[in-house]
Chains A and B, each alone.
Chain A
């Protein structure tokens, strides 16, 4: 080991080569590293990070998990507690499934409607936010700024605020996910439009097409398959987002989950989580298959 240990690079060898390590870069790197570690320790302390609490949390987690599964609590004579598998509880859990159906469908409806609305609204803004289509820089920056401003608000924060403003229900959920879809598709689409081949566009202008004609025949055919792929992609994310909207009062299966957690009905909560996972994976698979066929 010691015989073959790598030696520090011989700087004589690197002398004069740009980018070669110098003592100065090493000091700088060390300083950055030390700063990062200090920042990290400070943050860990401020966020109550503690391995002790984590260790104490592990049995709690196990406790929670066992209460999510069909195990019956048995109090032992000596004062201890044991858990016994119960077919009756399993039957109850399975019997609970049909009640999840309606909120689950509501979740999917929110995702479908919002993905569509958001994707449609994204088209005009994406066109205005494409440098190669817009003649006026102020218009381009305005569209871009609007897009980026909306993009900074986290989806569930938006849902919570809209639920406060519009009242609890599916309406704020649809609005929040629509805005979220809009920001995702508008950004991706404007990037696609900026990357198109300028040839067809120039050809259209050369033969005297007006702006709308030039866009319809010079831009749309080039970006349409990508646009459809983005719509499917955003639908995929929307399904994920819609499953948790209910936690802030914006409709869907999340509300059912929250209710069962509030009532400490962990076995019901477990079934809801399973259903959410199954739907998310299913939609992801279908959507990515479709997207592969598109591009």
Chain B
């Protein structure tokens, strides 16, 4: 390519980019919005969240003993993530093998990966909305959503692990007289399980965040009281809930990365 052609190509790309930004910014209906006023309003709200948190939501002692509503909801969120991740991690195993090139062949692998990508492309919250209609409000719908959605990512990662399998082991097993299921149980699984487990733990991290979101559409967990508090403009409670989410997510991230480092 001549220097002139390259330079004019760059110019065209730059102009297209500028046009894209003009289109994007001009089209956003922000002109009627008084930014300064909105900012003052929001700043006042953030101040309430930080200075007047509703600590009784975190810990309240009455005649019937002490309760932590926040703790209960956070626990439910973690439990949802655990069950959802486990379902996804188990169901992703057959998908992972069937989408691996060395197991399913080039065609089969392409078909399998297409299905997994389709699952991944489907927004999780939208899936939750549909499952909520099917099984009703509550954490069960959230668990199912995470279970199904996790298959997309985990299946793809598992397939990559399976594609990296050392096949010599299989041959060695066959040479010792192992049959096919024995060869898989003792030749393949020990190779892939640590990595499968590591990816599943990583997905648990993602699902804890997802579980917090799913509650906002009615699928159980900490999101439900959060969205109620937002609708009731209950800023003190929102502050406590956000604090809870931050602490728990940070703790889960830390534990998860420690476990993953030990595994692989």
Say whether, besides A148-B250, A247-B217, A154 and B138 are in contact (CB < 8 Å): no
* CA of A154 to CA of B39, assembled, Å: 22
* CA of A150 to CA of B38, assembled, Å: 22
A154-177 contacts to B, CB under 8 A, are 154-157, 160-167, 169-171, 174
Say whether, besides A64-B130, A106-B27, A157-B213, A112 and B21 are in contact (CB < 8 Å): yes
Task: Categorize the interface residue count of chain B.
Answer: 35 or more
**Residue A90, interface by CB 8 Å:** no
**Residue B192, interface by CB 8 Å:** no
Which stretch in A53-61, A78-86, A218-226 binds the other chain?
A: A53-61
Closest Cβ neighbor of B133 among chain A residues: A64
Which stretch in B4-12, B28-36, B94-102, B162-170 binds the other chain?
A: B28-36
* CA of A17 to CA of B59, assembled, Å: 52
**Residue A31, interface by CB 8 Å:** no
Residues of A within 8 A of B83 (CB): 40, 43-44, 47, 49
* CA of A61 to CA of B82, assembled, Å: 24
Task: Categorize the interface residue count of chain A.
Answer: 35 or more
- Which one of A1, A57, A154 contacts B131 once the chains associate, using CB atoms below 8 Å? A57
Which stretch in B40-48, B103-111, B150-158 binds the other chain?
A: B40-48
Q: How far is the CB of B109 from chain A (nearest CB, A)?
A: 18
A101-118 contacts to B, CB under 8 A, are 105-106, 108-110, 112-113, 116
* CA of A62 to CA of B35, assembled, Å: 46
Say whether, besides A50-B140, A149-B246, A156 and B79 are in contact (CB < 8 Å): no
Residues of A within 8 A of B245 (CB): 152-154, 157
Residues of B within 8 A of A284 (CB): 121
A239-265 contacts to B, CB under 8 A, are 240, 243-244, 247-248, 254, 257, 261
Q: How far is the CB of A44 from chain B (nearest CB, A)?
A: 5
* CA of A171 to CA of B38, assembled, Å: 9
Closest Cβ neighbor of A156 among chain B residues: B213
- Whether B33 lies near A47 (C-beta < 8 A) is no
- Whether B41 lies near A4 (C-beta < 8 A) is no
* CA of A292 to CA of B246, assembled, Å: 35
- Please list 24 pairs of residues, one from A and one from B, whose beta carbons are closer than 8 Å in the complex, sorted by A's number: A4-B182, A6-B178, A47-B80, A47-B140, A48-B140, A54-B135, A60-B134, A106-B28, A109-B27, A112-B20, A113-B28, A116-B21, A153-B246, A154-B209, A157-B226, A161-B226, A161-B230, A165-B46, A170-B29, A244-B123, A244-B125, A247-B125, A247-B217, A276-B126
